[in-house]
Chains A and B, each alone.
Chain A
Amino acid sequence: MRYAILLLAAPYTNQASHSALRFARTLLARGHQLETVFFYQEGVQNAARLASPPQDEPHLVDAWSALSREHGTALQVCIAAALRRGLLDEREAARHGKQGYSVEPPFELTGLGQLIDIGLRCDRLITFAP
């Protein structure tokens, strides 16, 4: 089946991001396809390029990136939620006259309309929230 995950919670503040990652790995192990993880509301913090958790803790940002590289999962980040939280890719940083950027591929800034599209396209959409 074609799955998608909607993640609404920030990393390291509650269990939701870890639950979502665990679910993602398990569904892939069962032979399903994970088309997209959509990061919305505080969930956009999962895309923070500069996140540097202690080495003995799970690195959620790297874990999502690895998942995308290994399984072709799109990592879509709501642009409106991201920009107001200081999460800008190179293009948006340039557009807003900011030095440096905080989001990089495979995470991509995208519109909320994509979430509607995912809901229509995928067989299953599972939400993980705070």
Chain B
Amino acid sequence: MLLHTLNRSPATSRVYQQALAAMGPEDRLLLVEDAVQGALPKLMRYFTGLEGRLFALREDLVARGLEGQCDPSVQIVDVDGFVLLTEEAEKTVSWY
């Protein structure tokens, strides 16, 4: 199982498409920095099929005033949880 991180909003960059294309069936996706916008219900459509495997970084949501506005299917983790995700994954791939 690999962890993929994405730091661009799906509303402004298409790199999320490459991340999704590269992901295996067990892989997880963590939205960080501007990509946390993707956790909003309006932008969730870009990440269908990732139920239970989609995460967003709390600190970056808070910095953008978006905490509490995420789709309930997205799991919110803090940086400690980010480190834990990298522990659990065999490798981490960054998309930017």
B32 and A27: CB pair below 8 A? no
19 further A-B pairs in the complex, CB-CB below 8 A; given A128-B94, A130-B96: A1-B87, A15-B7, A15-B60, A16-B7, A16-B33, A22-B59, A22-B79, A23-B79, A23-B82, A26-B80, A26-B82, A26-B83, A30-B80, A30-B83, A124-B87, A125-B92, A126-B94, A127-B92, A129-B94
List chain B positions with a Cβ less than 8 A from chain A: 7, 32-33, 59-60, 79-80, 82-84, 86-87, 91-92, 94, 96
Within A50-85, the residues touching B (CB, 8 Å) are none
Query: How many residues of chain A are within 8 Å of chain B by beta carbon?
Result: 20
Pairwise interchain contact A19-B33, C-beta atoms closer than 8 A: yes
Query: A32 interface residue, CB < 8 Å from B?
Result: yes
Quick one: which of B33, B59, B84 has the most chain A CB within 10 A? B33
Q: When chains A and B are docked, how far (Å) is the Cα of A127 from the Cα of B7?
A: 11
Kindly state the separation between the CA atoms of A1 and B87 in the bound complex, as whole angstroms: 8
Q: How far is the CB of B87 from chain A (nearest CB, A)?
A: 6
* Cβ–Cβ contact B33 & A15, under 8 A: yes
Which residues from B are CB-within-8-Å of A3? Answer: 86
